[in-house]
Structure 1
């Protein structure tokens, strides 16, 4: 019997773990655990989390028992065995991960019962159904309100028109937190293009963060998930000279900036190291053999890195400062009000910046991330938000 197993590379699991929103789950469930590759980064992130797994392959169940403390079931989760194993446990888990089987299956009476539980039988009236659809619904049965589940799913489920109605109806039970595209060939045994999809049960949000294979991120609306993420690439293009704004990263470390005795901006804020007017040395453009980046009145400064400060932004009100390499300097078209952008950034972007940020220890964002949000902002502004309002 083929178990349709495409094992997860550990690097994919690490990426999935890095995308998770801030939370502190107590119990994680995985219904098609394989050898446990998705669970390893979860255990590293939360060492005390309780683990529950299900797996069809008895050899894998043995490996899971030897690797992870917890409950491990050798069952078919699309059968009555699921009901017995999780009796009294529905709507109780506060986190889940999943790399479900990528396959079609003959629709069983049990499958029909699951669909009817969610009022979705009309979407799948035929004799065949995708296993991924049923796994998604089983997880929603297990999750508590406001709990997250992180899936690895094929493009067919996430993007195809064939499943657009399913995605639309799915949003009645949960919302998308984030989606990331995975390079083709990332899984052993298949060249299927896949995505990391993070859902939150019983939660309502207008937007989510999408990241493509180049690492560029953009905020999209829930409706974009319904239509299959079409046209996302237009906002995810890398930053270039063709953009009508400027984004530059500083060149000196915070320590180098401090040692020069000149005014500078680092992630910790403005530092007035010089007591008098900014010296000619600062204006020269080259210090200690490096071409330095300076900032002046009206510029926007955004912290590039730092788990606690990443994404924080300010406007330079006056003076001239060196910019450290932990900071981006943003300059908008002269017709656009910097304060209007700062309001947009702090209200719409900053509260969710951890969903865009990369890195497992020191979180960081890229120039392409900032560029995507700038493009979105420039689409929304009106003539009343021009430089005349500065």
Structure 2
């Protein structure tokens, strides 16, 4: 077993409070086995795991591919002990290296030539490393340097993905566990577009929340073949809390660039035929404007007018009741004119939705009594008169709440973008 040392821990930003010091959430055996099972390779010669941690993925790979040479790399010097315990008596050929996974010269340091790995499995840490020049080279070599508005937006998930691509051979398989950002966030649409055009993304499996101890973050299994042709169609599935997989759905490349999560695409229903009720339409088609508040939560207490915020939404009142903004938030005409210079206002008739929050789909209100100041956590939807009631009733229904929940994204705090809101069909 060869080892080397490096100070990756010194260059990483602060990890999450419920992860370990390197921002890792450890993979459970059922998730590890499910990821390895998704990788369609019969007899790989060389299997790699970067950021091996306790070795759950590597162990699952060793169980399936008995004759493969296994190589693991982790910055944590304690990782080899757990790995060795799993490998004792198995007869597997296993080499472990204690080294910085995001070293641009990693292949030289561990004696593994680029483009030689048959299968790579990886569960990247949930952390944003402090930028260094190595990262630019890793992204450039993987063909991903032009996919972000700023290279400093690259998190460990993207950097680990890129490092794996550098080491994989052509048609080699990569199985990843990814957080919500790379799968659904708009700022990563360029990454998804590039991956879909340069590689064959075979499938993405949406995991249940809470599958990793200590976090409710939404995560996914993803499998791709390096440089195996452009992806024209992707298979999406969802795993339930018992580990059972849903019936697959297929989406085309254009839809996959937007998002790759099962729940979002599964709710898309074909427009109804005439005679079956109102035709479905997008939220964008029903609106004349969307206003996002500008008062941040830390400024609410000192603001010179009451500010409607997340905690001011009322609970659902019943099937036919309407949740309205309380009168105490309504401004007089004179006060409203004064506030226009300091904040964005919601007007009577506007439908208010939460823009952020774990339960944003449950927050709904109608402005009735007068203009009101809204916080930057809230959208005010200005609907056409003929669509207002129908749109409100939709968001107050189980179907509407599901649409909002599946359109929101985010690893920790969930949030809704205007683009995702506009695409909801009702």
TM range, smaller chain = 0.5 to 0.7
The alpha-carbon deviation at position 223 of structure 1 amounts to 3.1
Structure 1 residue 23 and structure 2 residue 54: aligned? no
Secondary structure at 2:140's aligned position in 1? Answer: helix
Secondary structure at 2:267's aligned position in 1? Answer: helix
Secondary structure at 1:210's aligned position in 2? Answer: strand
Determine the C-alpha separation between the residues in 2 that align with 1:200 and 1:236. 30
Preserved CA contact (<8 Å) 2:46 2:118: yes
**1:93-124 deviation per Cα after TM superposition (whole angstroms, max 9, x unaligned):** 11010001111122101111222324543425
1:120–1:217 CA distance, 2 compared to 1 (3 A):
closer
Determine the C-alpha separation between the residues in 1 that align with 2:140 and 2:33. 35
Preserved CA contact (<8 Å) 2:107 2:167: no
**Residue 27 (structure 2) aligns with:** 8
Determine the C-alpha separation between the residues in 2 that align with 1:236 and 1:185. 28
The alpha-carbon deviation at position 22 of structure 1 amounts to 4.7
Aligned length: 237
Which of 221, 232, 255 is residue 206 of structure 1 equivalent to?
A: 232
Structure 1 residue 228 and structure 2 residue 252: aligned? no
1:109–1:19 CA distance, 2 compared to 1 (3 A):
same
The alpha-carbon deviation at position 84 of structure 1 amounts to 2.6
Secondary structure at 2:251's aligned position in 1? Answer: strand
Which of 109, 117, 139 is residue 93 of structure 1 equivalent to?
A: 117
The alpha-carbon deviation at position 62 of structure 1 amounts to 2.3
**1:146-189 deviation per Cα after TM superposition (whole angstroms, max 9, x unaligned):** 11110000111111111111111123431211111100110122
1:195–1:75 CA distance, 2 compared to 1 (3 A):
same
**Residue 154 (structure 1) aligns with:** 179
Preserved CA contact (<8 Å) 1:34 1:55: yes
**Residue 142 (structure 1) aligns with:** 167
Determine the C-alpha separation between the residues in 2 that align with 1:224 and 1:61. 42
For structure 2, the residue ranges without an aligned partner over 5 or more in a row are 1-8, 10-20, 88-92, 241-245, 271-426
**Residue 171 (structure 1) aligns with:** 196
The alpha-carbon deviation at position 219 of structure 1 amounts to 1.8
TM-score w.r.t. the length of structure 2 is 0.52
Determine the C-alpha separation between the residues in 1 that align with 2:203 and 2:153. 29
Determine the C-alpha separation between the residues in 1 that align with 2:123 and 2:160. 9
Determine the C-alpha separation between the residues in 2 that align with 1:83 and 1:148. 18
Alignment of 1:174-185 (within 5 A): 174-185=199-210
**Residue 103 (structure 2) aligns with:** 79
Alignment of 1:183-262 (within 5 A): 183-204=208-229, 205-214=231-240, 215-229=246-260, 231-234=264-267
Secondary structure at 1:136's aligned position in 2? Answer: helix
**Residue 359 (structure 2) aligns with:** none
Preserved CA contact (<8 Å) 2:179 2:217: yes
**Residue 286 (structure 2) aligns with:** none
Q: Higher strand share goes to which structure?
A: 1
**1:203-240 deviation per Cα after TM superposition (whole angstroms, max 9, x unaligned):** 12422211023523112223333111364113699xxx
**Pairwise CA RMSD of aligned residues?**
2.2
The alpha-carbon deviation at position 202 of structure 1 amounts to 1.1
Determine the C-alpha separation between the residues in 2 that align with 1:101 and 1:61. 18
1:51–1:88 CA distance, 2 compared to 1 (3 A):
closer
For structure 1, the residue ranges without an aligned partner over 5 or more in a row are 238-390
Determine the C-alpha separation between the residues in 2 that align with 1:92 and 1:222. 28
Alignment of 1:1-390 (within 5 A): 2-68=21-87, 69-80=93-104, 82-87=106-111, 89-122=113-146, 123-204=148-229, 205-214=231-240, 215-229=246-260, 231-234=264-267
Determine the C-alpha separation between the residues in 2 that align with 1:39 and 1:88. 17
